[in-house]
Structure 1
Amino acid sequence: MEEKNHPFWRKILNLRTIGILFLVLVGFMFFVLLMDYVIMPWYTKHGQSMELPDVTDKPVDEGITILEEGGFEPVIQDSVYDEQFAPGKIIQQNPLPYSMVKEGRRVYIIVSIGEKPRYMPQLIGLTPQDAEFRLKEQGLTLNQVFYEFSDFYPRGVVINQSLPAAEEVERNQKVNITVSLGQAPTSQEIPNLVGKSLETAEKELESLGVPVGRIRYSYRPKLVPGTILHQSVAAGKSAVQTNSIDLIVSTDEPPPEENREDSLMENMENENEPE
């Protein structure tokens, strides 16, 4: 009985051995694949430094995508005003671009929210110089200066501005101001302009509605340049009957050599010339 069953059991044992060998072979192949595609790549990259891409001046969504695809962890650290970068663009990253860092490193980014809002300053009551300084502080430009008489504001201060205070404005926007000439004169007579500056004379004549005619210059090195030496219409005459007034003004620039002995004053110099 045992001799008859012996070949059968031997056959069973051979099949079991083959199965075990097959399983061992499959397990070995699985181990090789696991080492080749999982363990070894992870082991060789562990601790390896990578170059950090530059994401500055890129939209924040695009920058985050680039960092994540590169194996880094982007973190928005702050959002600040910036005139050079459009809203939503990355203006700074830490670590710096092209730094060698470990994979998975956190990268802190700062995002622009655009240009800081600008508001029109209050200029009324200031001198023109102070008003211009305030405008420059806000990135604005002083355009034209007008002059008017005022019973309330003293001479030389701003009484009006073309844009109301606290209004939001754009960079380099132009602003006009009006400056007080003080109280209006009670008489309409031509004033004595000799000895005054050209700017002052023009303002006084403008207030009377009398235009300045021809302006000529005479070399007077001892006088402040721009000083009125002579007026074609004498002081005290009616402004209503005066069409225009010609002026002779001092200058510190000598005339050409061939004309140096010629005098622009000719016979018009008189006792009204300032000393």
Structure 2
Amino acid sequence: MLPLYVNSREVMTIPSVVGLKYEEAVSLLDSLGFEPRKGESRMDKDKPAGTVLIQNPPPGSIVKSGRRVYLTLSAGEIKVAVPNLLGKTLRDSKFALERIGLKLGAVEYDISDQYPVNTVMAQRIAPGVKIKKEMYVSVVISTGSATDKVAVPDLTSKSFNAAIEILKKIGLEVGNVSYIISPDLLPNTIVDQYPRAGEMVARTQPIDLIIVREGEHPKDYYEN
């Protein structure tokens, strides 16, 4: 129920419309004989767009009937356009996002015949789409063409998870995984690999690993 206001032929008390939607504020002010006017809009992450933030004169003011009441509205939360990251390096992409208040999200890797190695070949939110600040934009990094050959990295002494990430970044995948038990070696580390480090292989060549065993096997791989 709306509160009652002092009313006469000459003066009236202005009600508070702060927090109301613009249309609701206009309806209330009109019904009481005031003349609402839309003023400036301000960015406000806490109030939806179109919400009255400030009114002038302020609530409770005693004014003549027909007085104009200026309303400052919320423009909602600031949104920014997602930049075009295609063809950029991961470092440059991160900088481009942070410069406008966005964050780099998940990074995946895939083969691409179109984009050079270590550049963005896809982004999960299309360029130009407006999103809220602080949101994450995930990307896919090119590992080069499937026909390219790459040098096999040295994975010995690396953990199994670290090896997967190293291979993923250059477009290779883990092949067969075998296990050995040794009290002298650190569990879950790689002690041997095939092909050997430094060999040039196609991106379709899986890399077999021998890992020191302890407890459960890494998921999704099988023991020989």
Q: Residues 193-208 of structure 1: matches in 2 within 5 Å?
A: 193-194=155-156, 201-206=163-168, 207-208=171-172
**Which of residues 108, 116, 126 is equivalent to 1:145?**
108
Q: Residues 29-178 of structure 1: matches in 2 within 5 Å?
A: 51-79=13-41, 82-96=44-58, 98-104=59-65, 105-112=67-74, 118-132=80-94, 134-135=96-97, 137=100, 142-148=105-111, 153-155=116-118, 157-166=119-128, 168-171=129-132, 175-178=137-140
CA contact 1:135–1:142 (8 Å) conserved in 2: no
Which whole-Å CA distance do the structure 2 matches of 1:185 and 1:191 have between them?
15
Higher helix share: 1
Q: Return the TM-score normalized by structure 1.
A: 0.49
Percent identical pairs in the alignment equals 22
| C-alpha distance 61-210 of structure 1, shift in aligned 2 (>3 A) | closer
What's the offset of the Cα at 1:79? 4.1
| C-alpha distance 241-117 of structure 1, shift in aligned 2 (>3 A) | closer
Q: CA RMSD in A?
A: 4.7
What's the offset of the Cα at 1:109? 0.3
Q: Residues 222-261 of structure 1: matches in 2 within 5 Å?
A: 230-233=190-193, 236=196, 244-247=208-211
CA contact 1:202–1:212 (8 Å) conserved in 2: no
The aligned counterpart of 2:217 is none
Unaligned 5+ runs, structure 2 = 1-7, 215-224
Rg larger in structure: 1
Unaligned 5+ runs, structure 1 = 1-40, 220-227, 249-263, 265-275
SS of match in other structure, 1:205:
helix
Task: State the one-letter code of the partner of 1:102.
Answer: V
SS of match in other structure, 2:108:
strand
Q: Residues 1-16 of structure 1: matches in 2 within 5 Å?
A: none
SS of match in other structure, 1:233:
strand
